[in-house]
Amino acid sequence: TFSAPPETPATALAPANSAIAAAVREGLTAPRKSLPAWLFYDAEGSRLFEQITLLPEYYLTRTERAIFQAEADRIIAAAFQSWHQATGDGQPTPDGAGRLRLLELGAGTATKTGILLAAAVRAQGETEYLPIDVSESAIAEACLTLTETLPQVNLQPQVANYVTDDLAIALHDGPTLALYIGSSIGNFGHDEAVAILRNLRAQLRPGDTLLLGTDLVKDTAILEAAYCDADRVTEAFNLNMLRRLNRELGAGFDLSTFRHVARYNREASRIEMHLRSTRTQQVSIPSLNLSIPFQAGESIHTENSYKFTPDSIRHLLREGGFAVTHTYTDPQNYFAVTLATV
């Protein structure tokens, strides 16, 4: 039986905001201010990110897509090969046993995944796809699109947070190809990235594979332009985090007093995004009973985006429990798609 929800005053924070409140309190009261990158993705932030992926400076999405278009059939064949080597099993039987299934961490709207799914369907017909994402609306959109474009794909969506929660993937009588693409792993520092890989590894069996998409170290000017575009879409994306806190926490950020900063930290091998206060000021967040002091020039660190080399990818995967079998890249060596096996 259901009880009526308790009466809540209009000014009270919705329960969904409590994770945001905790993260904001922790990040903005620390000596070096920061906010977690997942706060970018409200409806407006997700829309702005989609716009970023279309920018001429933001080479990541289109480069990874081109790699998938060129290599998808070989990637699917290599996943079968890895399974064959570990288990001795051959191609799927007519009853469907031994079919390759695809699983995706942070599937989002799965726009690039369709290329790999289409290759799997070419190789074996019916293909199971398990998208995992925290955003129910993104998964719903992915499922809607795929149902129309690839009717031979069987969808098993799962709403879960692969960073904070243990994964629970159903057993399967054939190979699994896990996808962690789009440079999503780049938002995490080394230890957290290893933990994510181990969490995935625990759900896989010998001969299963992981396809990892990572951005590569390159010229500083190219990297910084990708995060500081001429149309200032990335600036809007960064500032939207403050707009979100104004709306959802009643915070008093004056957006005109914060500047978008994106710089490549070559020692740490990462792009760092910040919001820099142009003046000394106090920003009140009444719902958190906080007033946050800013000095002129003081910044909030909002994102890290790690850049890799073939060596650093191999080491990270090894620590996570995977061995690299194939590396696919573009002619300019801007982006790497790495296939690794358990």
User: Measured between alpha carbons, how far is residue 221 from residues 57, 183, 262 in Å?
Assistant: 10, 19, 11
Closest contact distance (angstroms) between CB of 135 and ligand AVJ is 13
Closest contact distance (angstroms) between CB of 40 and ligand AVJ is 7
**How buried is 93 (Cβ within 10 angstroms: 0-12 exposed, 13-18 middle, 19+ buried)?**
exposed
Closest to ligand AVJ by CB, 63 vs 127, is 63
Closest contact distance (angstroms) between CB of 2 and ligand AVJ is 38
**Residue 138 burial (CB count, 10 A):** 20
- d(C-alpha 135, C-alpha 182), whole Å: 16
Closest to ligand AVJ by CB, 113 vs 234, is 234
Closest contact distance (angstroms) between CB of 309 and ligand AVJ is 17
Q: Is the Cβ–Cβ distance between 307 and 215 less than 8 Å?
A: yes
Closest to ligand AVJ by CB, 35 vs 288, is 35
User: Measured between alpha carbons, how far is residue 107 from residues 62, 164, 178, 213, 265 in Å?
Assistant: 17, 16, 11, 13, 28
- d(C-alpha 269, C-alpha 58), whole Å: 18
The end-to-end CA distance of the chain, in Å, is: 46
Q: Which residues bind ligand AVJ (CB under 6 A)?
A: 52, 60, 182-184, 186-187, 227, 234, 237, 303, 305
Closest to ligand AVJ by CB, 92 vs 186, is 186
Closest contact distance (angstroms) between CB of 182 and ligand AVJ is 5
Closest contact distance (angstroms) between CB of 247 and ligand AVJ is 20
Q: Give residue number: closest CB to ligand AVJ.
A: 305
Contacts for 91 with CB less than 8 Å, ≥ 6 apart: 80, 98, 124
Closest contact distance (angstroms) between CB of 139 and ligand AVJ is 16
Closest to ligand AVJ by CB, 115 vs 233, is 233
Closest to ligand AVJ by CB, 277 vs 305, is 305
Tell me which residue has tokens 């474009």.
Answer: 149
CA-wise closest residue to 134 among 167, 111, 102, 96: 167
Closest to ligand AVJ by CB, 82 vs 234, is 234
CA-wise closest residue to 336 among 320, 312, 319: 312
- d(C-alpha 52, C-alpha 60), whole Å: 10
Measured at the CA of 25, the angle between CA 246 and CA 268, to 5 degrees, comes to: 100
Closest to ligand AVJ by CB, 40 vs 322, is 40
Closest contact distance (angstroms) between CB of 213 and ligand AVJ is 9
Secondary-structure percent of the chain, ordered helix, strand, coil, rounded to 5: 40, 25, 35
